[in-house]
Amino acid sequence: MTSYKIALLDGDGIGPEIMAEAVKVLELVGERNNINFELTYGSFGACAYFEHGHAFPEQTKALCDSADAILKGPIGLSHEESKKIPLDMQPERGALLPMRRRYNTFANFRPVFLPKGLAHFSPLKPSIIGEGINFIIIRELVGGLYFGSKETGINEHGKRFVKESLEYDEDQIARIAQVAFETAMKRKKVLHNIHKSNVLKSSVLWNEVIDEIGQDYPEVEIKHILVDAAATYLCLNPGQFDVMVMENMFGDILSDQAGGILGSLGLMPSACIGPDKAYYEPSHGSAPDIAGRSIANPYSMIGSVAMMLEMSFKMEKEAKNCWHAMQSVFSQGYSTPDLSKPGVDVRMIDTQSFGNLVVNELAKLEC
C-alpha cells in the first residue's frame, strides 16, 4: 500500500473549519485509491504563537521537514488582534515567509476558474464573462519586495524612516519564467508578462530575462502588460488571459483581484512549489470577520487538495474528480453565503454541508 505523509497546518480564523472539509475529501481519496495518507496536525500561525511562543515552532518545522507534502490553512488575525503579537512573530513575518524561505517555494500557482454556468457568482456582467473565466497566475514567491533587505530608523532630520528593497537576480527570474513558459505550453501558448518597467528597474531586468527564456519557447506568444493596466483588463476583459506571470507583490495583489472577479476569495486555491518540497494553501487569509460561523467556503482548501494530488502525488485523475465534484455541487444550485447575490435563487449551505456534498459527488466518480 502506498503511503504519503501529509502535514496539516490548519492555522487561524476559518482555517480549522475549511481544513476539516478538505480532510474529509483526502480521507475518501485515500480509501478509494488504497493509499494511506498519514495525516498529522501541526501548529502554525497566530495559534502557534499563543500556544508555543513561536509562529513556526520547532516541532512544526520537524513535521513539515519529514512530510511528503504540506497542506496549510490560512493564518493571521484581525488588524486589532495582531497587535497582541510582537511584529516579527506576527503570522506572515513569523511563519509564512520563513516557511517559503525554508522550502524555497518559488513557484506559486493560482488558478482562476469560473465556468460560464456559474457566471452568476461573479460581480461582472455575463457579457464580460463570455464563455467563462479560466486563467492561471504564476507568482514568484520567494523574492522581490517581500524578501528584500529592510531598514528602519531615524534619519538625519530626526524623522522615522523605512527602506525596503525589491531584489531579484537573473537566475531567480529565469526559473519562474521557465515554469510560466512550461505552463503556457500545456495551455494556449500565450503568456502575459506583468511588469512595471516604465518605473521600476527590477521590471526592466525581469522583462529582459522573460524575453531571453522565451527564445527557448518559440511557440509561446509573449504579451507584456503593465501591472496597472492588467488590473483594469482583469475587470474589463478577463477572457484575454490564459497564463500570467509576475513578481511576488504584483501576484499577491492581482490574485486577490482575481478572486474578486470570480465572486469570492473562497474560490482561490493555490500550490507553492519548491525544488524539494511543496505546500498547498488557499490564496486568501484567515477571514476573521466570518470565523467560527460555519459560513466559510471550503472550495479554496479542497481545491488546494486537488492541486496536491496532481502536483505532489501525480494523481491527475483523482484531482480532476475533486474539481468536478465541487463544480457539480454548485451546478445543482447550491451556494455558500460568500457567493450568493441578491436576486439570484440559490440553495444556501454551510461549510460542512458543502464538504459533505463534495464527498458524495466524489464517491460517484470513477477513480
Active-site residues, by number, are 146, 196, 228, 252, 256
The whole-angstrom distance between residue 64's C-alpha and the CA centroid of its chain comes to 18
75 counts as binding ligand NAD under rule CB under 6 A = yes
Q: For ligand NAD, which is the closer residue by CB, 94 or 285?
A: 285
Site string for ligand NAD, 40-69 (x = CB under 6 A): ------------------------------
Q: For ligand NAD, which is the closer residue by CB, 18 or 138?
A: 18
284 counts as binding ligand NAD under rule CB under 6 A = yes
Nearest to 308 by CA among 3, 13, 22: 22
* CB 66 to ligand NAD: min, Å: 22
Are residues 111 and 241 in contact, defined by beta-carbon separation less than 8 angstroms?
A: no
Q: Which of 68, 170, 242, 338 binds ligand NAD (CB under 6 A)?
A: 338
CA distance 119 to 130: 9
366 phi and psi, to 5 degrees? Answer: -75, 135
Nearest to 16 by CA among 82, 94, 71, 64: 71
303 counts as binding ligand NAD under rule CB under 6 A = no
255 counts as binding ligand NAD under rule CB under 6 A = no
CA distance 133 to 244: 13
238 counts as binding ligand NAD under rule CB under 6 A = no
Helices and strands of the chain, counted as H and E runs:
14, 14
Q: Which of 289, 343, 345, 366 binds ligand NAD (CB under 6 A)?
A: 289
For 134, the grid coordinates are 479560466
Q: Which one of 21-29, 158-166, 169-177, 284-292 is the stretch in contact with ligand NAD (CB under 6 A)?
A: 284-292
Are residues 62 and 5 in contact, defined by beta-carbon separation less than 8 angstroms?
A: no
Are residues 75 and 46 in contact, defined by beta-carbon separation less than 8 angstroms?
A: yes
DSSP secondary structure code for residue 123 in this structure: S
265 counts as binding ligand NAD under rule CB under 6 A = yes
CA distance 210 to 247: 12
108 counts as binding ligand NAD under rule CB under 6 A = no
* CB 317 to ligand NAD: min, Å: 26
The C-alpha angle 209, 211, 235, rounded to 5 degrees, equals: 100
The angle that helices 299-311 and 316-331 make with each other, rounded to 10 degrees, is: 160
* CB 264 to ligand NAD: min, Å: 5
* CB 55 to ligand NAD: min, Å: 11
Q: Which of 271, 287, 311, 362 binds ligand NAD (CB under 6 A)?
A: 287
285 counts as binding ligand NAD under rule CB under 6 A = yes
76 counts as binding ligand NAD under rule CB under 6 A = yes
Residues that bind ligand NAD (CB under 6 A): 14, 18, 74-77, 92, 96, 264-266, 281, 284-290, 296-297, 300, 338
